[in-house]
Amino acid sequence: CSRWEEEKKEDGVKWMQLEHRGPYFVPPYEPLPEDVRFYYDGKPLKLSLATEEIATFYAKMLDHEYTTKEIFQNNFFHDWRKEMTSEEQEIIKDLDKCDFREIHKYFVEKNEARKALPKEEKQKLKEEADKIQEEYGYCTLDGHREKIGNFKTEPPGLFRGRGEHPKMGMLKKRIMPEDVTINCSRDSKIPEPPEGHKWKEVRFDNTVTWLASWTENIQNTLKYIMLNPSSKLKGEKDWQKYEVARRLKDVVHKIRAQYRKDWKSKEIKKRQRAVALYFIDKLALRAGNEKEEGETADTVGCCSLRVEHIQLHPQLDGQEHVVEFDFLGKDSIRYYNKVSVEKPVFKNLQLFMKNKDPTDDLFDQLNTNFLNKHLHHLMDGLTAKVFRTYNASITLQEQLKALTNPEDNIAGKLLSYNRANRAVAVLCNHQRSIPKTFSRSMQVLQEKIDAKKKQVEEAQEEVKKAEAEFEDTKDAKAEANVEKKQRLLKRLEEQLAKLNIQATDREENKQIALGTSKLNYLDPRISVAWCKKFGIPIERIYNKTQREKFAWAIDMAGEDFEF
């Protein structure tokens, strides 16, 4: 049997034996050379080691947009001052008087020097990194040697967060062995902490899959060292996730009929649940769990929507019953959408908004717990997230069917694939900011296209000339020349078409992030089956890391796999 289908363990037990080396700790801070200085109010100022280290975090980011944001600057300065000596606190009172430029320049040059190293030197560095990976990057789990995902602790630095995160600029502290809980099996060789240190604790808990954990100081959340996505444990979990979503396919029509019925329920709580479920199903919204006040950015999901996040339009742009959504979702990504909904949904929303202030909850009687309990009752293992996975995967499958033209060449088929993937990313609202290099790379591509067009025109002239010559002489040599020129023209035309496809693809993709859905929401068997069916090499869809993560699907799916 394949390694994906080995013997099952009793419920809740994830492994029988687990042995590893513990995390690899980031090397200690290296002080700046004497001639690289920090200036305050125009004068050089020698900083204490701890203060200097934090100054380098800010200096490294000088050319980044973050350091121009007031909230980032304030958070940084506040946390930096806390770590200063009392003498430094007396002097350094204003961030505007701090000059980090010399430090910034030092790191830029150091970076350039590293890039410019001769091949042998780079090879030596790579070998050192590989040695660390060999030693710390693997564990033994139930007799299998498995790769660990993130075996290094995160280096200290300044917190960035996504979107307009209120904590950006705060100091992310260095993780010490004393912060780390180790998890392994009782009979294994327990990892040694670095010399002079000890672990926070050592556990033997085989109902969880993490190898080490610690609490990070900014969000106060637990961070874990886990197995690599290509490991058997993660692969199985991934596969199970899509199997649950496939089970939803068989009952989704019943669930839809049920929530439609509940729109007319006598209980307002049930109505709210039914409308929220409609949004989760139709728009792939996230459920929106309750969060600690003031702990994180003000982001919401479906259940936590407030009255201010939606506007109702009986008529808009030639459609009726339009709901206009505008809110910050996960990672402070803005969700903006205008959707024509069914009339009972519209009427219910009017009812839910009646006599409420903008900051009141839209679904005031609903929480994710109540919603997920109901979903569990409808189908074992069903949560709001399963709808996102199901709708994403089914959309990809349907779009691939609709868009793929079997007559197209590989480039054409890949454009269709990316368009199908884009439809999913749009559904899931996976956006990205336009890459900084976008206009430059489009310009380069456009220049290539123009040059290729010129070559095509020249080749067309050449074909005409050759044909005229053949008309005159009718000899075999001239005929062979015509064929040669036609072949060249055809090849150039194909290259031009390919460049044009590339330009279209890039343009359509500039604000859409395809990676998130590809890795987390789309059953990889759909893509594997599509590749097999149309003779597309799998590496054109999945890179090496992705192929390792989805090894289970590449093994399993034939060309006629249906989600």
* CA distances from residue 78 to 75, 88, 219 in whole angstroms, order as listed: 5, 13, 17
Residues with Cβ within 8 Å of 210's Cβ and at least 6 positions away in sequence, in order, are: 183, 224, 225, 226
Question: Given the structure tokens 């590449």, which residue do they identify?
Answer: 554
Residue 130 tokens, joined: 């590989």
H helices present in 70-165, as ranges? 70-83, 86-91, 101-115, 119-136
Q: Are strands 222-225 and 181-183 parallel, antiparallel or unpaired?
A: unpaired
Catalytic residue among 335, 390, 417, 521: 521
Three-state DSSP state, 348: helix
Pair 350, 212: CB distance under 8 Å:
no
Would you call 521 a catalytic residue per the annotation?
yes
Angle of helix 524-534 versus helix 384-403 axis, rounded to 10: 10
Polymer length in residues for the chain: 563
CA 411, 414, 416, 422 torsion-angle sign: negative
Beta-carbon count within 10 A of 165 CB: 21
Question: Is residue 149 classed exposed, middle or buried when 0-12, 13-18 and 19+ CB atoms within 10 A define those classes?
Answer: middle
Beta-carbon count within 10 A of 547 CB: 17
CA 388, 159, 211, 148 torsion-angle sign: positive
The CA-CA-CA angle for residues 188, 190, 196, to 5°, reads 170
Angle of helix 343-353 versus helix 268-283 axis, rounded to 10: 120
Burial 440-456 (b: 16+ CB within 10 A, else e): eeeeebeeebeebeebb
Pair 288, 274: CB distance under 8 Å:
no
Residues designated catalytic: 521
